[in-house]
């Protein structure tokens, strides 16, 4: 190898590291004079290059290179790199090396390295672009409204699909998930009734929540699945598919709290190469998500084809575009075939979804405003009440022993303390025969305007939970596009006065009723007119959906200054097909007068409830996933777990030292706090250090 400045050298391998200038200088075998001639030729065409004389004047900075030829070429390469022209200089050098017979693989390697270097970042897919980080919060919010559907066969619970909320009380899923596919003559039909299912929403701000379906008219609307056999989708995307949109709107038996529903409007979708997202439950209770692209649109069938991963259990999942707009409901997978109709080998599939815009259009053509949010003035109907806190205050009022009262307040503070997913804001939904009968009446009365059973009496001993049956009613009411207003008869309550003032356009008052307020309070026609317009858009609009009027007398100890006014009001309301009157805690003699006064064609339903029993606590805990009891064992670990069972909770509630043994009025309130405490792990209280 020559060490003088002019002579060429034999070719050398590429250095493992170094700047582009150094790598090119070390790689080339040409002489320093040839390198300068090539540089000057390039400088004539590229004004950004300094002269070779100026470049070689920088040799002093390259004293660390002992080989003079390499130092001279390095100075020229460094000047070319500083000007951003190293790639062009490399091309000139490669041309000279090629003329001298250097192998093509050597030439290609240096051109690739110098001419096409990597960059710190680049847009690989210009059509898709970049996704803003805000999508994380968008997808997180959507995931709260997406749940799994669990089918029960009486023994096992099986996750069979995905659903998402479109109203707090309505969920949408695929028809082939909600209904059992059946053969009918030459067709496959997917029609009501729905399967015995519950819908679980495990990621809500209020913690895991679940709901069954209402007993009366559980399907708000549906469109049959596009199927060719049981559990087999029709692969064709034709006009017939456009009439079979494979969805079911299911009415839940309670509103899901603190969750923003997912809009069903959709949008016009294009296969623009952007990422779309799919969130669902793959046959399990933990949600998953994936992202990929829409490959094409099939407008005649109202379908889109996508490449987002999905597995069994994700039918009914929500597909969301990269701007955070829900656009489709996932339907299933279609195997790809060869030109001769045989499956591709290895198997390949594409995924299919039904566009939400098509579903929204279909619903609007059937019943305009079917999913419109109910208009309930917030001042008159309270949602998200801290029911547990109210339970605690009520219980504390009953306890006379200061020591017991302090313990009670301590338990209330522990139960109402926000947990990982927020405070508990729901009264336990206890079920026994009497309460189940009341709930069924609520559901049936909410489901039809034509019912003759329009008045219900709810009675029971003090503290049995009559008022809380109204809270249960508030959970049922939203599921049938039904309104609710709660009235109380105490002197300090001005709800009726407020209704009358709204009708007259008068300013509100505070405190107890004045003489003028008293006169308005007795104005039954004005109250009925105000109620008829409650929650109805437009002053001239006609009420179509039922209105529950829950009149709460507490425990029958309220001030009854005008009993005849109440009787007149109930009678007038009972004549209205839209009214459902629920009378809670009224004295027996007043109930008899009401029953005698209402028209004969109106049926009055009496319900009597008792105190909650320990069996109802156990049932509540089992329903929310707590084991009934621990299997018989002598293992210490298993024995320690025994206290976390529903049976242990029931036994503890029946203990003789519980406060409600001496004060029965506390029974139902204590049952509520007891069930919540056991469910949240606050109870049983263990000794310090255990």
Of the two residues 386 and 530, the one the predictor is more confident about is 530
User: At residue 35, does pLDDT exceed 80?
Assistant: yes
Q: What is the DSSP string of 29-65?
A: -S-HHHHHHHHHHHHHH-TTSPPHHHHHTTGGGGTT-
Kindly list the distances between the CA atom of residue 66 and the CA atoms of 4, 22, 33, in Å, as whole numbers in the listed order.
Answer: 11, 13, 18
User: At residue 636, does pLDDT exceed 60?
Assistant: no
Across 179-187, average pLDDT: 87
Asked whether residue 438 falls in the same domain as residue 492, the answer is: yes
How confident is residue 575, by pLDDT bands cut at 50, 70 and 90? Answer: very high
Asked whether residue 242 falls in the same domain as residue 333, the answer is: yes
User: Does residue 14 sit within a domain?
Assistant: no
| Eight-state DSSP code of residue 103 | -
CA distance 114 to 90: 7
Contacts of 19 (CB under 8 A, 6+ apart): 78, 81
Asked whether residue 406 falls in the same domain as residue 438, the answer is: no
CA distance 518 to 506: 14
Last residue of a domain, one of 554, 587, 608: 608
| Eight-state DSSP code of residue 104 | H
SS3 state of residue 213:
strand
Asked whether residue 563 falls in the same domain as residue 475, the answer is: yes
- Taking only the tens place, the pLDDT of each residue in 45-95 is 898 999 999 999 988 889 889 899 999 999 999 999 999 999 999 999 999
Q: Are 573 and 529 in contact (CB under 8 A)?
A: no
Asked whether residue 80 falls in the same domain as residue 144, the answer is: no
Across 607-630, average pLDDT: 81
Q: How far is CA 302 from the centre of its chain?
A: 24
Task: Write the CATH number for 351.
Answer: 2.40.10.120
What is the percentage of the chain residues whose pLDDT exceeds 70?
73
How confident is residue 584, by pLDDT bands cut at 50, 70 and 90? Answer: confident
Q: Which domain holds residue 687?
A: 374-428+614-690
User: Does residue 125 sit within a domain?
Assistant: no
Q: Helix 86-99 to helix 20-27 angle, to the nearest 10 degrees?
A: 10
- Taking only the tens place, the pLDDT of each residue in 99-122 is 989 988 889 888 888 887 765 655
How confident is residue 525, by pLDDT bands cut at 50, 70 and 90? Answer: confident
How confident is residue 476, by pLDDT bands cut at 50, 70 and 90? Answer: low
Kindly list the distances between the CA atom of residue 261 and the CA atoms of 202, 204, 506, in Å, as whole numbers in the listed order.
Answer: 15, 11, 37
Asked whether residue 669 falls in the same domain as residue 546, the answer is: no
Q: Are 246 and 331 in contact (CB under 8 A)?
A: yes
pLDDT at 248: 96
Across 386-390, average pLDDT: 46
How confident is residue 264, by pLDDT bands cut at 50, 70 and 90? Answer: very high
CA distance 190 to 638: 46
Kindly list the distances between the CA atom of residue 30 and the CA atoms of 34, 71, 99, 555, 652, in Å, as whole numbers in the listed order.
Answer: 6, 13, 11, 106, 95
- Taking only the tens place, the pLDDT of each residue in 130-172 is 666 777 888 888 999 999 999 977 677 889 999 999 998 899 9
Asked whether residue 258 falls in the same domain as residue 399, the answer is: no
SS3 state of residue 126:
coil
CA distance 606 to 666: 24
- Taking only the tens place, the pLDDT of each residue in 438-461 is 888 887 887 656 788 999 999 888
E strand residue ranges, 409-526: 453-459, 483-488
> What's the pTM?
0.50
CA distance 476 to 582: 14
| Range with the largest mean pLDDT of 102-106, 125-129, 369-373, 535-539 | 102-106
- Taking only the tens place, the pLDDT of each residue in 306-357 is 999 988 889 999 999 988 899 999 999 999 988 888 888 998 999 999 999 9
pLDDT at 514: 36
How confident is residue 678, by pLDDT bands cut at 50, 70 and 90? Answer: confident
When mean pLDDT is compared across 251-255, 332-336, 472-476, 494-498, the lowest value belongs to 494-498
Across 414-422, average pLDDT: 55
What is the percentage of the chain residues whose pLDDT exceeds 90?
30
User: Rounded to 5 degrees, what are φ and ψ at 240?
Assistant: -65, -40
Per the structure, the count of domains in the chain is 4
How confident is residue 14, by pLDDT bands cut at 50, 70 and 90? Answer: low
User: Does residue 4 sit within a domain?
Assistant: no
Asked whether residue 187 falls in the same domain as residue 336, the answer is: yes
pLDDT at 381: 25
User: Does residue 129 sit within a domain?
Assistant: no
Of the two residues 363 and 565, the one the predictor is more confident about is 363
Comparing CA positions, the residue from 190, 341, 320 lying closest to residue 262 is 320
Contacts of 553 (CB under 8 A, 6+ apart): 488, 489, 583, 584, 585, 586, 587
Q: What is the DSSP string of 617-675?
A: HHHHHHHTT--S-PPS---HHHHHHGGGSHHHHHHHHT-TTSGGGT-GGGHHHHHHHHH
The CA R_g of the chain, rounded to the nearest whole Å, is: 38
Of the two residues 411 and 199, the one the predictor is more confident about is 199
Asked whether residue 601 falls in the same domain as residue 620, the answer is: no
Asked whether residue 645 falls in the same domain as residue 573, the answer is: no
User: At residue 513, does pLDDT exceed 60?
Assistant: no
pLDDT at 318: 95
Asked whether residue 184 falls in the same domain as residue 238, the answer is: yes
Task: Write the CATH number for 553.
Answer: 3.40.50.12060
Mean pLDDT for the chain?
A: 78
Contacts of 419 (CB under 8 A, 6+ apart): 207, 680
pLDDT at 380: 23
pLDDT at 495: 44
pLDDT at 387: 45
CA distance 89 to 571: 100
pLDDT at 403: 52
Number of neighbours of residue 338 by Cβ within 10 angstroms? 9
Q: Are 273 and 127 in contact (CB under 8 A)?
A: yes
Contacts of 237 (CB under 8 A, 6+ apart): 298, 300, 301, 303, 352
């Amino acid at each position: 190898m020559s060490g003088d400045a002019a002579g060429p050298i034999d070719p050398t391998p590429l250095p493992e590291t170094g700047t582009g200038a150094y790598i090119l200088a070390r790689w080339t075998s040409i002489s320093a004079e040839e390198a300068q001639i090539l540089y000057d030729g390039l400088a004539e065409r590229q004004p950004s290059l300094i002269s070779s004389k100026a470049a070689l004047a920088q040799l002093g900075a390259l004293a660390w290179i002992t080989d003079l030829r390499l130092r001279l070429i390095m100075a020229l390469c460094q000047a070319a790199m500083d000007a951003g022209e190293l790639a062009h200089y490399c091309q000139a050098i490669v041309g000279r090396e090629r003329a001298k017979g250097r192998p093509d693989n050597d030439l290609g390697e240096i051109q690739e390295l110098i001419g096409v270097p990597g960059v710190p970042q680049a847009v690989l897919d210009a059509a898709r672009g970049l996704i803003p980080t805000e999508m994380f919060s968008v997808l997180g919010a959507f995931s709260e409204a997406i749940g799994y559907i669990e089918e029960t066969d009486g023994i096992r619970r099986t996750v069979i699909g995905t659903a998402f909320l479109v109203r707090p009380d309505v969920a949408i899923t695929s028809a082939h998930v909600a209904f059992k596919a059946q053969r009918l003559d030459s067709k496959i039909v997917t029609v009501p009734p729905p399967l015995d299912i519950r819908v679980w929403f495990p990621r809500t701000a209020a913690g895991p929540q679940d709901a069954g379906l209402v007993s009366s008219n559980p399907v708000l609307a549906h469109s049959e699945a596009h199927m060719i056999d049981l559990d087999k989708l029709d692969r064709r995307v034709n006009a017939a598919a456009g009439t079979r949109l494979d969805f079911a709107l299911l009415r839940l038996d309670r509103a899901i709290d603190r969750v923003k529903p997912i809009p069903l409007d959709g949008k016009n979708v294009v296969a623009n190469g952007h990422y779309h997202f799919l969130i669902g439950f793959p046959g399990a209770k933990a949600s998953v998500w994936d992202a990929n692209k829409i490959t094409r649109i099939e407008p005649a069938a109202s379908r889109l084809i996508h490449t987002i991963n999905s597995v069994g259990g994700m039918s009914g999942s929500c597909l969301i575009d990269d701007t955070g707009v829900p656009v489709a409901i996932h339907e299933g997978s279609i195997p790809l075939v060869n030109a001769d109709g045989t499956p591709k080998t290895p198997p390949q599939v594409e995924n299919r979804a039904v566009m939400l815009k098509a579903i929204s259009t279909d619903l609007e053509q059937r019943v305009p405003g079917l999913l419109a949010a109910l208009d309930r003035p917030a001042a008159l109907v309270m949602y998200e009440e801290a029911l547990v806190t109210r339970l605690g205050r009520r219980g504390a009022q009953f306890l006379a022993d200061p020591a017991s009262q302090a313990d009670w307040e301590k338990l209330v503070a522990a139960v109402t303390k926000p947990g990982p997913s927020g405070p508990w804001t729901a009264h336990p939904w206890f079920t026994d025969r009497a309460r189940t009968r009341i709930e069924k009446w609520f559901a049936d009365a909410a489901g039809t305007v034509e019912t003759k059973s329009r008045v219900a009496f709810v009675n029971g001993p003090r503290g049995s939970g009559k008022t809380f049956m109204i809270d249960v009613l508030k959970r049922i009411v939203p599921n049938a596009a039904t309104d609710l207003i709660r009235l109380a008869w105490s002197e300090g309550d001005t709800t009726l006065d407020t209704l009358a003032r709204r009708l007259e356009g008068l300013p509100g008052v505070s405190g107890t009723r004045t003489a003028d307020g008293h006169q308005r309070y007795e104005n039954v026609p004005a109250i009925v007119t105000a109620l008829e317009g409650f929650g109805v858009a437009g002053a001239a609009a006609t009420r179509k959906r039922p209105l529950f009027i829950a009149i709460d007398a507490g425990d029958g100890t309220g001030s009854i200054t005008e009993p005849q006014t109440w009787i007149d009001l109930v009678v007038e309301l009972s004549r209205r097909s839209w009214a459902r009157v629920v009378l809670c805690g009224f004295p027996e003699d007043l109930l008899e007068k009401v029953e005698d006064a209402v028209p004969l064609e109106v049926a009055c339903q009496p319900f009597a409830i008792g105190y909650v029993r320990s069996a109802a606590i156990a049932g509540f805990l089992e329903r929310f996933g707590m084991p009934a009891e621990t299997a018989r064992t002598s293992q210490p670990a298993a024995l320690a777990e025994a206290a976390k069972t529903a049976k242990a909770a029931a036994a503890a509630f029946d203990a003789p030292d519980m406060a409600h043994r001496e004060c029965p009025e506390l029974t139902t309130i204590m049952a509520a706090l007891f069930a919540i405490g056991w469910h949240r792990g606050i109870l049983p209280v263990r000794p310090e250090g255990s």
